[in-house]
Amino acid sequence: MTAENSTAPESASDLAASNVDECARIGERMALLSRASFEGLVFHVDGVVFDVNERLLEITGFEREELLGEQLLQRCVAPEDLPEVARRMADRIEGEYVITGIRKDGSRFPAELQSKQGILGDRPVRVVAVRDVSGRERAQALLRESEARLRELAAVAFDITVFSRAGVIADVTGSFESMLGYSREQLVGHHILEFIASTDAPSVGRGIAQGTVGASESIVLSASGEAIPFEAVAVESTLRGEPIRMSALRDLRPKKRLERERRELERAFAQSQRLDGLGVLAGGIAHDFNNLLTVVLSGADLLQIELSDPQHRSLASTIALAAQRAAGLTAQMLAYAGKSELGPRAAVDLGSLVLQLRVLLDATLSKKAQIALALEEDKLVLGNRATLTQLLMNLLTNASDALLDEPGTISVRIRSVERPDARFTRALGAPVGPGQWVLIEVSDTGVGMDEATRMRIFEPFFTTKAHGHGLGLAACIGIVSSHGGAILVESEPGRGSTFSVLLPAYQGEAPAPAPAPRVAHERATQRRILIVDDEPLVRVQLRHALESQGYEVIEASTGADGLLALAREAPCAVVLDVTMPDLSGIEILRRLRSAGSAVPVILSSGYHRAALDAERDSFQAFLAKPYTRSELLDAVEHVLAK
């Protein structure tokens, strides 16, 4: 045998041995794959199983022989799922679906099946991969439970919950329809920024793009266009197992309203504290100042008696006049401080009082003002008629001044109230609660006030007018408080003002309708004379003459001032000039009588009395100019004696 013969082909026995080894290795690999597979595998032809892998035996607990042939479906598939499995086999449907599997011990488990059609030789073979998805289903169930709890928590803690992907609304829950006016169909599928105010859209867009979580505030526009403040808490979550951004929204309107009310209460409390402090100061100053004025007035009166030089007596008279005016200011300061003597109280019909003042104040209120009255009948309070008159006069003249001589409306409403609304928690004066009240509201359509002015409007000596000492409205607080009531002012620039006064209602009988009660004229108690004349020299002459006889004199240089003084001062008699530039004495007389006033009137004129015969029943005496001191004093004594 040559050397080449040493490399001859292997013998038949060696080749057979090699094939056996290769088959063994293939078998080992197949066994390894069968055991290491994550899914169980079933190989069958038209439902007849001819092989399964080790993983399927581990999943089900059966032995291989127990699953071969036609036994597998009956043993491993829940009866309720058998029709669906048979249908998919018959129709050669491939794909993934889930059934309920049954183990050998009878326990059930969710089984995910993946079916594929194939060919083995010349036979169609169906391969089914089986996966036990109990863990996954349990995790998904826990996830669904967590999502449900999260939704419930959001529903309780928030008003609206929005689920979105890349800013597009995927779902929404809560009170979105009642709050925003949108249906679910109008929200789902739309971008969130479509419903955000333009001022907040950039910041909201950045938060969505950057996946920012946490709380923020933004303005949402309702279907009606209302800008609604919301607090949004954004978190990354899942919806039906998919990543999603959840934004829980809380309506901030109740919170904002409470914050606003708290600030208003704090401001009202601070204002009340400040006004109380000013009241204590004003009351103390007025009290001490009155003591000083008493000395000044008594000294001036004594000088007028003792001095013989007319010039010196005139100076003493001037001192007395200045002191009397100062006394008037201190009286208003005491009224503001609530320390003035109200005098006798009686049942006062506020509606009737307003009607009387309306007649008297027509000359002083703006000529361009339209007066609107809404007065319920028999609205009585127990109070002092003079100070209540002063209160109403101050409110009406303030409303008139607010019109700035422009066309406008002054509204006066008087009605009963049992449960004052929440506005009166900010009122000044006595505490307000449920009960029987009479509400006075005086409104104007004037210039209104800003917040800073409104907070100071009742302070003494604070005024926005070119003329005035700022004690009119300040005195109103003292009058209202002394009657156990409260006062509130509401105003905005350009939208007018409303002054609301609550006074305790009087439950007794209404006073009989009659003209205003006559003023008592006994010389020992009533010595106040009002002079209404536009000529200063005449007023000086009359003052000297009357004060020399012990009368107290009040002067008015115009008809309008005269009407105010009549209502405010309640004189026992009036010396009234017939001819004045703004309002004639005849017009003043007619308004007095129309209002029911019975105060005695002495008319004074350069015309003959015969020209006044048409009014002869309205006045009690007539002085033809020029007249002497004696004629004046006789006329006054005559009307007072009646």
Share of the chain above pLDDT 90, in %: 10
3-state helix, strand, coil in the chain (%, to 5): 45, 25, 30
Instruction: Lowest mean pLDDT of 362-366, 370-374, 509-513, 560-564, name the range.
Output: 509-513
* Beta partners for residue 532, in sequence order: 556, 576
Average pLDDT, the chain: 78
In which band, very low, low, confident or very high, does the pLDDT at 521 lie, cut at 50, 70 and 90?
A: very low
Query: What per-residue confidence (pLDDT) applies to 35?
Result: 55
**How many angstroms separate the CA atoms of 638 and 619, rounded?**
12
Helices 350-361, 559-569: inter-axial angle, 10-degree rounding: 160
What's the pLDDT band for 187 if we cut at 50, 70, 90?
A: very high
Is the pLDDT higher at 506 or at 334? 506
**How does pLDDT run across 437-486, given as a tens digit for each residue?**
999 999 999 888 888 788 777 776 667 665 555 566 777 877 888 888 88
Find tokens 């010349």 and name the residue: 122
Is 516 within a domain?
no
Total Cβ atoms within 10 A of residue 377: 9
In a domain, 17, yes or no: no
- Of 49, 11, 54, nearest to 36 by C-alpha is 54
* Domain identity same for 369 and 400: yes
When pLDDT is averaged across residues 49-71 and rounded to a whole number, the result is 87
- Residue length, the chain? 642
212 assigned to some structural domain:
yes
The answer to whether the CB of 439 falls within 8 A of the CB of 395 is no
Burial of 321 (C-beta count, 10 Å sphere; 0-12/13-18/19+): middle
Q: Do 262 and 232 belong together in one domain?
A: no
C-alpha separations of 324 from 294, 301, 332, 573 in Å: 10, 12, 13, 19
Model confidence at 147: pLDDT above 70: no
Cβ(158)–Cβ(176) under 8 Å? Answer: no
| Between 570 and 20, the higher pLDDT residue | 570
Two tokens, residue 601: 């009137």
By DSSP bridging, strand 214-221 and strand 227-239 are: antiparallel
Task: Give the CA distances from residue 590 to residues 586, 593, 614, 619, in Å, rounded to whole numbers and listed in that order.
Answer: 6, 5, 11, 10
pLDDT at residue 530 in the model: 92
* Helices 350-361 + 385-402 axis angle, to 10: 50
Domain boundary pick from 312, 337, 362: 337
Question: Does residue 517 belong to any structural domain of this protein?
Answer: no
CA distance 155 to 153: 5
Of the three residues 220, 251, 282, the one that is the final residue of a domain is 251
528-532 and 573-577 strand pairing: parallel
Are 450 and 357 contained in the same domain? yes
pLDDT value for 151: 64
pTM for this entry: 0.45
In three-state secondary structure terms, 378 is coil
Helix (H) or strand (E) holding 311: helix 310-337
The pLDDT of residue 435 is above 50: yes
- Overall domain count for the chain: 5
Most confident of 224-238, 307-321, 503-517: 224-238
**Nearest by Cα to 623 from 580, 584, 575:** 575
Residue at a domain's end among 310, 337, 364: 337
- 198 with 217, same domain: the answer is yes
* Contact assessment for residue 393 and residue 362, using Cβ atoms and an 8 Å cutoff: no
Q: Is residue 384 part of a domain?
A: yes
**Is there a single domain that holds both residue 197 and residue 243?**
yes
The b/e string for 461-497 (b: 16+ C-beta within 10 A; e otherwise) is ebbeeeeeebbbbbbbbbbbbbbebbbbbbbeeeebb
Q: What is the DSSP string of 14-62?
A: HHHHHHHHHHHHHHHHHHHHHHH-SSEEEEEETTEEEEE-HHHHHHH--
* 262 shares a domain with 229: no
CATH code for the domain in which residue 147 is found: 3.30.450.20
**Percent of the chain with pLDDT strictly greater than 70:** 76
- If asked whether residues 358 and 492 sit together in one domain, one would say yes
Number of neighbours of residue 576 by Cβ within 10 angstroms: 27
Report CA-CA distances (Å) from 521 to 235, 451, 622, 631: 85, 48, 19, 19
CA-derived radius of gyration, the chain: 50
Q: Distance between alpha carbon 321 and the CA centroid of its chain, in Å?
A: 50
Instruction: Judge whether 54 and 74 are in contact, CB under 8 Å.
Output: no
More confident residue, 538 or 344: 538
Look at residue 269 in the predicted model and tell me its pLDDT: 64
Number of H helices, E strands in the chain: 19, 23
- State the Cα–Cα distance between residues 133 and 113, nearest whole angstrom: 10
> Is residue 149 domain-shared with residue 180, that is, in the same domain?
yes
CATH of residue 586's domain is 3.40.50.2300
Contact 45, 126 (CB under 8 A): yes
Q: Identify whether residues 158 and 278 lie together within a single domain.
A: no
CATH code at 265? 1.10.287
Q: Does the pLDDT of residue 178 top 90, yes or no?
A: no
Structure tokens of 55? 């993983």
Q: Show the tokens assigned to 434.
A: 């449920």
Residues 37 and 74 occupy one common structural domain: yes
pLDDT by residue (tens digit) across 542-553?
888 888 888 888
pLDDT for 7: 46
Host domain of residue 571:
528-641
Q: Which pLDDT band holds residue 514 (cuts at 50, 70, 90)?
A: very low
Tell me which residue has tokens 């979550």. 237
Collapsed DSSP state (helix, strand, coil) of residue 455: helix
CATH of the domain at 481: 3.30.565.10
Whether the predicted pLDDT of 518 surpasses 50? no
Residues 57 and 163 in one domain: no
Distance (Å, whole) CA 20 – CA 33: 20
Task: Indicate whether 265 and 306 sit together in one domain.
Answer: yes
- Note whether residue 13 is domain-resident: no
More reliable by pLDDT, 106 or 474:
106
Q: What is the pLDDT of residues 240-263, one digit of tens each?
A: 667 888 888 888 888 888 887 777
Indicate whether 15 belongs to any domain: no
Q: Does 1 fall in a domain?
A: no
